[in-house]
Structure 1
Amino acid sequence: MALVDQFNKAAADVKNLKSMPSNDDLLELYALFKQGSVGDVNTDRPGMLDMKGKAKWDAWNGKKGMSKEEAMQKYVDKAAALVASIGLQ
């Protein structure tokens, strides 16, 4: 299966986990997904009152310079680990 197909399947699997992953896991998934699908951050950092937006932006910005392919593979691996530990609905 091609990496893009694995990436898309992992994204679908994450939406069907039995329970919500930890905030750290969610931020990691978000950052890897954005880096794998968009690339480096291309927006301004949210304002000081948007705590959730800033956390997501900072997580994504932490992946700056990582190739899309590497981010996709890490996302697939992270999703697989979550599916193994939490399970699917």
Structure 2
Amino acid sequence: MTDLSSWTAFFQDFGQFFNGFLFTLALAIGSFILAMVLGIFFGAMSTSRRPIFRILARIFVEFYQNTPSWCSLLLFFMAYLLSVTISS
């Protein structure tokens, strides 16, 4: 016989799991769209005839290619934490 108590607990909390799934899916799709827009934008800048646009695009690309993902996430997370003010 199988123990159905674990399944009943899952189905009782199914709404929370499904909401988490939808949030994760929306976050992944939003990140993909943002990455595509930034990639096209900086790709177009790197083919510009103006040197300043090429330099800015190269700086952006070099920064993100040479920085591990967890360092970038930590940097953005810390920037967010430093911008939050606590009101009493």
Larger proportion of helix: 2
Q: Which has the larger radius of gyration?
A: 2
Higher RCO (C-alpha under 8 Å, 6+ residues apart):
1
Q: TM-score, normalised by structure 1?
A: 0.31
Superposition TM-score, scaled by structure 2 size: 0.31
